[in-house]
């Protein structure tokens, strides 16, 4: 093998096959439409985007309905600056408040307020219906199980455990 062709092969990307391209575009198309569908439902029912709903759910499920901001960013898979902006908007609506961390002068907690809990309780039934209609009603039980397994594999591959990993909540 000559070195010129070896170095050309090393720099050439491994392009997707036609079938991989079809699967990738179907995935991208479906997830884009699903996110838009859920955003529109939540904007209509609660005046908030899907990401904000996810933050409120994360706080509602946490002990004492509070999480450190860094932990909430990790749970939500978003950057700390995006979280800070979102929490500021949720504070303005009265759905969340920040509290200083007594053991760490730089740390803060995000805390779900009673008004935030109420908006979740009011909005959750419509959101569950939207998710069920958009995803689960269209799939057989076997397809649902396969989808769950596939998404778990993809998520595990994108969330490495080693120190220094480039993950959104570390940025």
User: What confidence score (pLDDT) does residue 103 get?
Assistant: 81
User: What confidence score (pLDDT) does residue 133 get?
Assistant: 97
Instruction: Tell me how far apart the alpha carbons of residues 137 and 119 are, in angstroms, rounded to a whole number.
Output: 26
User: What confidence score (pLDDT) does residue 38 get?
Assistant: 96
* 8 A C-beta contact, residue 69 and residue 87: yes
Helices (H), the chain: 3-11, 18-46, 50-61, 69-76, 80-92, 114-134, 141-158
DSSP assignment of 47-91 equals S--HHHHHHHHHHHHSGGGEEEHHHHHHHHT--HHHHHHHHHHHH
Q: Which residues of the chain have pLDDT under 70?
A: 1-9, 160-171
Q: What is the pTM of this model?
A: 0.84
User: What confidence score (pLDDT) does residue 92 get?
Assistant: 97
User: What confidence score (pLDDT) does residue 156 get?
Assistant: 85
């Amino acid at each position: 093998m000559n070195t010129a062709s070896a170095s050309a092969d090393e720099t050439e990307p491994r392009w997707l096959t036609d079938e991989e391209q079809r699967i990738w575009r179907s995935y991208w198309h479906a997830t884009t439409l699903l996110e838009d569908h859920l955003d529109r439902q939540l904007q209509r029912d609660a005046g908030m985007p899907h990401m904000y709903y996810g933050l409120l759910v994360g706080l509602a499920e946490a002990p004492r309905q509070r999480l450190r901001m860094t932990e909430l960013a990790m749970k939500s898979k978003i950057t700390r600056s995006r979280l800070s902006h979102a929490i500021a908007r949720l504070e303005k609506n009265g759905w969340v408040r920040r509290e200083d961390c007594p053991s760490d002068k730089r740390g803060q907690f995000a805390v779900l307020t009673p008004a935030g809990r109420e908006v979740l309780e009011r909005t959750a039934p419509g959101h569950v219906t939207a998710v069920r209609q958009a995803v689960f009603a269209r799939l057989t039980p076997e397809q649902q199980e396969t989808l769950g397994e596939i998404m778990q594999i993809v998520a595990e591959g994108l969330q490495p455990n080693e120190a220094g990993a480039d993950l959104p909540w570390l940025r």
